[in-house]
Structure 1
C-alpha cells in the first residue's frame, strides 16, 4: 500500500464546525435539542473567552484555586504541626528543664486537640489559611511563570533559571502575604481554656478579624511581619522544590510545569504525582528548621514597653533567687507584657538550642511531612488539571475564531 493511500483524507470544511455544533447522532432522547444547542453555544463562548485570557491571569487563578483545595484538605495536619512547632515557646524562664511535652507525635497531638477543642480545634485558623492561600499561590504561580520566561532569555542554564524564578516568585508572595500567615499561626497555636497555664499563649482571639484588630492595637504593624526573616530564608525551600519538580516532570512526562500539548487528552497523573512527591520530600527535609524558627517568632507578642513601676512587668520580673518570673510574652497580673524571649534568627537559634536541644529544630517534622506531601500533591494536581482544561478550551477557542474569519 502506498504512503498516500495510508494517510487519512483531509478534513472537510465542516469538520471543525461539527466539533462544536450538535448533530443528530449526539442528541439523546432525554435531552431536548434546544438544551444541547444552548450547552454547545455556552461551551463555545467559554472556549473563545479562554483563548483571550493572558497566561498571567490564568496562572494566578489556577494557583489560587489549587491553594484553596490544598488548604481544605490539610488544615487539621497543619494545626497539629503548628502545635508541635510552638511547643516549648511558652515555658517559664525559671524552668531549668524542658517543659513536659503535651503534644507527642501526630496521633497524640490530634488526641489532645480533639479532647480539648473537638472538630473546631482541628480546623482552627482555616479562615486565614484560605485567605492566605489565594494571594500566595496566585502571586507565586503568575510571577514564577513570568520570571521563568524572563530568565530563560538571559541564562543558558535552565536549572539556574528555574532556581532564580522560584526565589523571585517566593519573595514576592512572602512579602505580600506574611501578615495573613502570622494571624493563621497565632490562631492555630491557640489552645483551649482547659489547657495548663504554662502552655497557654498570651492571647485569645475569637476570629480572624478579632486577631487582626487586637494585634494591631496592642502590638503595632511590626507584629504582622514577625518571622519574616526565617520566612525569607524559607525561599531555599521553593528554590529546591520547583526546579526539582520541573526536572522530575520533564523526565517522567517530557513537559514542564503547567505545560500541555494539543495531542494530550489526559493529564499525566502518574508523572505529576511522582514529581510532586519526590520534590517535596527533598525540599522539606533540607529546609525544615526555618519553619520552627518562623513559628516561634510568629507566636509571641511584640508589645512595646509601657510605663510602670520600675518597668518590672516589661522586663519580665526581678531576676535572681527568691523572685518568681513569668513566662516570656505572657500577661502579668497588672496586665503588662513581658519582653519577648525570641529576638532575631540567631538569638532564637541559640535559645532553642540551649533550652531544648537540637532536636527541637525538627519538632513536628514527621507530621509536617505527612501534611506537606498531600498538600503539595493536591496543589500541583489541581493546578496542572486546571491548566490542562484551560489549554484545551483555549485550543478550541482559537479554532472557532479561525473558522469564523
Structure 2
C-alpha cells in the first residue's frame, strides 16, 4: 500500500507530544482557568488529570466509549445473536429446521418482543457492559502504547497500525472472552414459550447464575469457547483501525486520538465519516468468523456420565431442557456425547453441510445496522472524552506550574 499524502504530519512523535502541549494552550484555555479559583471543582479535576498517565486516560476513554455504544445498540446485538445462533439447537436427526423462527431485523424483533417484551430486547446487557469496560479499556491502552512502539521501530505506517491493532485485539480478546461467552449465552436464551428445537439446553437467571452453572456443569474450558474464531476476528480490527486512521487523516489531518493546539474543535463529521467507511469495509470482509464464534459460544459442553464408554443416553440429564436430549447435542440413544461444533474447520464444514453457505452470513444485515452506529458511538465518545481529558491534563499541569512558581493566590 502507498504511504499517506505528503501533507500528513510527521511521525512518530513521543506520546506526550502527540496531544495538546501545555504551552500552546495557555493563551486559549489557560486564561479561562486563571479566572477561576484554584480550589474550584474544575481546577481540582484538572490537577487530578495532570497526575494521570496517558495510558490510564486512554483506558478510561475506551471503557466509557464501549459502555455508551453497548447501551445504544444492545437490542440490535440481541437480534444479531439470535439470527447467528438459529439452527444450532435443533436435534441432529433433523437435516434442516422445519422453519426459521427468526427472519430479518423486523421479524426477529417482533418475535423477541412478543415472547419476552422489553426485557428480552436487553437480555445480556449486564455482561455486555461488563465486557465492554475491560475490552475497550485494554484495547485503547494497548493500541496507543504499541503504536508508539511500532512507530519507533517500523517506517511503514500501515504496517505499524496493523501490528498495533492485532496486538491490542489479542490482549483484549484473551482478557475478556469469558465475559463474551456469558453474554452470548444470555442473548441466545429464548422464552419458555419457544418451540423445543429453537430452545437452547440451558436456562440462566442472571450473569452470576450463568457463570456458576457453566463452571459447575461444563468446566473452565466453556469460558473460552469460540476463542479460535475470536482470535481469527483480529483480522477485523486489523482492517478497521488502520482504515479509520487513514480516513481520519484524510478528513481532519489528525491521527486517532490526536489533538491540535491550533484547532480545539471536535471534527464530528470527519470522525463519523472515517468510522462509517472503515467499519463497513472491515465487517463486510470478516463477518463469517462472527457466526463461527457465536455457534461455538452457544454450544454447551456437557460432562459425560461415569461410564467406560463415556456414553450419554437421552433423559440421563435432569433440568430445564434436558429431559429428552443431552446438553448441546440432541443425540439419539447410545450416541457418544460429542459436541456438534469442534474447531474452526469442523464447524465450517458442519454448517456448510447442514445449512449451506448462506448460514455464514446469517444476521449480516442486522449486524451492519448494529455495528456501524455502535462504532460511530464508540469512536465519537472516545475522541471527545480523550480531547477533554487531555485538555484538563494540560490545564492541571499549568496550575501546578503556577503553584510551584508561587503564583497561587
TM-score tier, shorter chain, comes to 0.7 to 0.9
1:205 maps to 204
Q: What is the number of residues matched between the two proteins?
A: 371
1:321 maps to none
2:129 maps to 130
Q: CA deviation at 1:185?
A: 0.2
Superposition pairs of residues 311-326 of structure 1, within 5 angstroms:
312-313=311-312, 326=325
Assess if the C-alpha contact under 8 Å between 1:46 and 1:393 holds in 2: yes
SS of alignment partner, residue 251 of structure 1? helix
Check if 1:216 corresponds to 2:229.
Answer: no
1:19 maps to 32
Where in structure 1 are there 5+ consecutive unaligned residues?
A: 1-12, 23-35, 318-324
SS of alignment partner, residue 260 of structure 2? coil
Q: CA deviation at 1:394?
A: 2.0
Q: CA deviation at 1:337?
A: 9.5
Superposition pairs of residues 246-257 of structure 1, within 5 angstroms:
246-257=245-256
Q: CA deviation at 1:20?
A: 2.3
Superposition pairs of residues 69-148 of structure 1, within 5 angstroms:
69-148=68-147
Q: CA deviation at 1:78?
A: 0.2
d(CA) in 2 for partners of 1:14, 1:373: 38
After superposition, the Cα gap between the structure-2 partners of 1:259 and 1:351, relative to the gap in structure 1 and judged at 3 Å, is same
Deviations, residues 158-194 of structure 1 (Å, cap 9, x unaligned): 1000000000000000000000000000000000000
2:49 maps to 50
Assess if the C-alpha contact under 8 Å between 2:287 and 2:361 holds in 1: yes
Deviations, residues 205-262 of structure 1 (Å, cap 9, x unaligned): 0000000000000000000000000000000000000000000000000111111012
Superposition pairs of residues 180-199 of structure 1, within 5 angstroms:
180-199=179-198
d(CA) in 1 for partners of 2:315, 2:164: 45
d(CA) in 1 for partners of 2:72, 2:279: 17
Q: CA deviation at 1:392?
A: 1.6
d(CA) in 1 for partners of 2:265, 2:336: 58
Assess if the C-alpha contact under 8 Å between 1:331 and 1:337 holds in 2: no
d(CA) in 2 for partners of 1:193, 1:107: 21
Superposition pairs of residues 2-401 of structure 1, within 5 angstroms:
19-22=32-35, 37=37, 41-307=40-306, 312-313=311-312, 326=325, 329=328, 338-401=337-400
SS of alignment partner, residue 71 of structure 1? helix
Comparing 238-247 and 295-304, the one that deviates more: 295-304
Assess if the C-alpha contact under 8 Å between 1:166 and 1:239 holds in 2: yes
d(CA) in 2 for partners of 1:224, 1:96: 29
Q: CA deviation at 1:37?
A: 4.8
Q: CA deviation at 1:329?
A: 1.2
Assess if the C-alpha contact under 8 Å between 2:70 and 2:132 holds in 1: yes
Deviations, residues 11-69 of structure 1 (Å, cap 9, x unaligned): xx9998753244xxxxxxxxxxxxx758x722222222222211000000000000000
d(CA) in 2 for partners of 1:158, 1:248: 13
Assess if the C-alpha contact under 8 Å between 2:30 and 2:395 holds in 1: no
d(CA) in 1 for partners of 2:77, 2:391: 35
d(CA) in 1 for partners of 2:314, 2:151: 53
After superposition, the Cα gap between the structure-2 partners of 1:41 and 1:14, relative to the gap in structure 1 and judged at 3 Å, is farther
Assess if the C-alpha contact under 8 Å between 1:88 and 1:99 holds in 2: no
1:6 maps to none
SS of alignment partner, residue 313 of structure 1? coil
d(CA) in 1 for partners of 2:98, 2:248: 45
Q: CA RMSD for the aligned pairs?
A: 2.5
After superposition, the Cα gap between the structure-2 partners of 1:191 and 1:115, relative to the gap in structure 1 and judged at 3 Å, is same
Assess if the C-alpha contact under 8 Å between 1:67 and 1:379 holds in 2: yes
Assess if the C-alpha contact under 8 Å between 2:312 and 2:326 holds in 1: no
d(CA) in 2 for partners of 1:116, 1:233: 34
Assess if the C-alpha contact under 8 Å between 1:91 and 1:99 holds in 2: no
Deviations, residues 291-330 of structure 1 (Å, cap 9, x unaligned): 000000000111232125975526999xxxxxxx958715
d(CA) in 2 for partners of 1:148, 1:18: 34
Assess if the C-alpha contact under 8 Å between 2:311 and 2:336 holds in 1: no
d(CA) in 1 for partners of 2:91, 2:332: 15
SS of alignment partner, residue 265 of structure 2? coil
Larger Rg: 1
d(CA) in 2 for partners of 1:353, 1:79: 24
Where in structure 2 are there 5+ consecutive unaligned residues?
A: 1-25, 317-323
After superposition, the Cα gap between the structure-2 partners of 1:327 and 1:99, relative to the gap in structure 1 and judged at 3 Å, is farther
SS of alignment partner, residue 44 of structure 2? helix
